Amino acid sequence: MKIEQAMWLHERHELALEELCELSGLSETELRELVDYGVLAPVDSDARHWSFRADRLVLARSARRLRRDFDLDPHGVALVVTLLERLRDLEDELRDLRARLPGGGAG
C-alpha cells in the first residue's frame, strides 16, 4: 500500500493568497474582508503578493464553514472567528497549566 505523505500546517510554511483561497474555499473578496476586519494577517501586509502562515488555513476553513452553515455576514464571521481563536488560546493555556501541575491536575 502506498504511504501518503502529510504536510504540516505550521507557522514555518507559507501559503500564497490564491492557495489559501483555494484550500479554504473562501473567495478572494471574503479573504480580504477577513484581513480588513483584523481576523487574518498576511506575513507582510506591504508585500505585493500576500502570503499567510500555513496554520492560518485552519482559521480560514472555520470562517468558510461558519459563513456557509450559519448564514453569517462578514462582521458576524469576524466576531465568531475572533472568539474561537481566543477559546483555542485559552485551551492551549489550560493544557500547558495542566501539564505543569504535579499529577497532571488529576488530583
Q: Which residues bind other proteins (CB under 8 A)?
A: 1-10, 12, 22-23, 25, 55, 57-58, 61-62, 65-66, 69-70, 80, 84, 92, 95-96, 98-100, 102-104
Q: Least distance (Å) from other proteins to the CB of residue 77? A: 11
DSSP of 33-101, one letter per residue?
A: HHHHTTS---S-TTSSS-EEETTHHHHHHHHHHHHHHHT--HHHHHHHHHHHHHHHHHHHHHHHHHHHS
Q: Least distance (Å) from other proteins to the CB of residue 61? A: 7
Choice between 12 and 48, CB closer to other proteins: 12
Bridge partner residues of 76 (DSSP):
none
In whole angstroms, how far apart are CA 53 and each of 39, 77, 85, 95?
13, 20, 15, 23
Choice between 48 and 100, CB closer to other proteins: 100
Choice between 11 and 44, CB closer to other proteins: 11
Choice between 28 and 48, CB closer to other proteins: 28
